[in-house]
Amino acid sequence: MKVDTLVKNGRIVTSVGSAPKSGKQMQNVRIIEKGYVAIDGGIIVKAAEGEPTKMEAKTTINAEGRVVTPGLVDPHTHLIHAGSREDELALKLKGVPYLDILNAGGGILSTVTATRTAGDGAMISQVLKSLRRMLKYGTTTAEVKSGYGLNTQQELRLLGLIHDLNSLQPIDLVATFMGAHAIPEEYRNDKDAYVRLVKEEMLPRVAEEDLARYCDVFCEEGVFDIDDTRDILLAARKLGLGLKIHADEMNPMGGAELAAELKTTSADHLLASTDEGLMMMKRAGVIAVVLPVTSFNLEERFARARDMIDMGLTVALATDYNPGSSPTESMQLVMNMAAVKLKMTPEEIITAATINAACAIGMGEFIGTIEEGKAGDLVVFDAPNLNYIPYHLGVNLSNTVIKRGNIVYKAQE
Ligand SMILES: [Zn+2]
């Protein structure tokens, strides 16, 4: 058998199947102590125990006993924007209240201003830099939301740039339209008019030009309430988009309940969700996407991922990369915090960062496990076993990252 790429002598760690894993299923991970993965035409053609026999490969990687996992999937990012907000951290350390920072022109609206005035080239360079970092840290597929344009022309521009970025580098990007990320300055006193703009002008254009797979809304006090969120998401569904919701991040808004009512693909954040809301999500099959680095960075409470899994929910992990509350590209950092702060087991963590994350962006059929027929996206971790990955923190444990059978990152040793 002739193949493009062969990874041998690996400790292969993977979930099984294309469906999201919920509750106790998240613990079920297949481990092949010593095995190999063969990739041809970008697709896994064989993953098995032992030594490959009668196999000829153009490229052979000897994993030397290291852990081999599916490529990591980051199902919640706000990558496409200009500028950064490090000065806000410095001000916060001096004791300046967040509201004063906001009133001085900081916060999310400062990123909106920076994004609106940035040229396409500058923004593409900035995001490419982030994507290169993500790839190095093992992320091979990511979702990217618009939401720093906040007018029709700018939101369409951002979604167009996500499509351009998809073809400029190896990570597969799934685009989400999030015109309802914040209320722009121009509509400060007329939120209802902005909701109408999102529903009646932006969404039809996004659908017509086929610019996004999902629509997401920031459902929170002082931003978009439950009725706004329902209206926008129902309009998106009519146009054929999948649904996501930023739910119950700060207050128990009923976001989890709304996600269940609408059977959204995922509900994300969920720090303040009630047991009732979570049980409704479970019954409706909504994936809970939890974002521990955001909680850490804002010194907020953490989502109750342990309870969610014990209740039988499907949990996925993501960076929430954004310039305000989670400026990190590293799913490995997320995985460490999932262990230390969310009390998830290493098996649950790898499930949440691969197959469940893939299902949260509608990609479970194609990626997220090491099985024949799935994309040849793998990470060889410089780790002797699965437990080591969330344990050894703050450095990059990737040894080799493989995207569709191609080596896209190799650590210098
Ligand atoms: Zn977010």
333/222 same-domain check: yes
Q: Are residues 166 and 220 in the same domain?
A: yes
Q: Report how far ligand 1's centroid is from the alpha carbon of 178 (Å).
A: 10
- Identify the pLDDT of residue 342: 98
**What does the pLDDT read at residue 100?**
85
What integer pLDDT is reported at residue 239 of this predicted model?
A: 98
Q: Do 172 and 309 reside in the same domain of the chain?
A: yes
Q: What is the pLDDT of residue 406?
A: 98
74 CA to centre of ligand 1 in angstroms:
12
Q: 62, 63, 31: which is closest to 351 by C-alpha?
A: 31
Maximal CA-CA distance, the chain = 70
Q: Two tokens at 253?
A: 């808004």
User: Same domain, yes or no, for 275 and 387?
Assistant: no
Residues of the chain below pLDDT 70: none
Distance 258 CA to ligand 1 centre (A): 17
Task: Report how far ligand 1's centroid is from the alpha carbon of 175 (Å).
Answer: 13
Q: Using the mean position of ligand 1's atoms as its centre, give its distance from the Cα of residue 245 in Å.
A: 9
- Kindly state whether residues 78 and 62 are assigned to the same domain: no
Measure 242 CA to ligand 1 centroid, in angstroms: 16
Cα 216 to ligand 1 centroid, rounded to whole Å: 9
Residues 98 and 244 in one domain: yes
Same domain, 165 and 82: yes
Q: How far is the CA of 304 from the centre of ligand 1 (A)?
A: 17
Domain that holds residue 386: 2-70+369-410
Same domain, 119 and 255: yes
Q: At 230, which CATH number? A: 3.20.20.140
Distance 36 CA to ligand 1 centre (A): 37
CATH assignment at residue 42: 2.30.40.10
How many angstroms separate the alpha carbon of residue 405 from the centre of ligand 1? Answer: 31
CB 352 within 8 A of CB 303: no
Chain-centre distance for alpha carbon 98: 26
Q: Over the Cα atoms of the chain, what is R_g? A: 21
- Whether residue 221 sits in one domain with residue 198: yes
Whole-number Å distance between alpha carbons of 9 and 2: 18
Number of domains in the chain: 2
Please tell me the distance between residue 76's alpha carbon and the centre of ligand 1 in angstroms: 6
| pLDDT at res. 32 | 98
My answer on whether 381 and 355 are in the same domain is no
Q: Is 177 helix (H, G, I), strand (E, B) or coil?
A: strand
The Cα 82–Cα 386 span in angstroms is 36
Return all residues near 387 (Cβ < 8 A) that are at least 6 apart: 346
The torsion defined by the Cα of 333, 339, 343 and 348, in degrees rounded to 10, comes to 100
103 vs 113: CA distance, rounded Å: 14
Q: Which of 252, 335, 327, 256 is nearest to 292 (CA)?
A: 335
Ligand 1 centroid to 320 CA: how many Å? Answer: 5
Indicate if 78 and 53 belong to the same structural domain. no
> 70: CA distance to ligand 1 center in Å?
24
How much is the pLDDT for 49? 97
Look up the pTM and report it: 0.98
Whether residue 52 sits in one domain with residue 31: yes
Residue 40 Cα to ligand 1 midpoint, Å, equals 36
Distance 234 CA to ligand 1 centre (A): 20
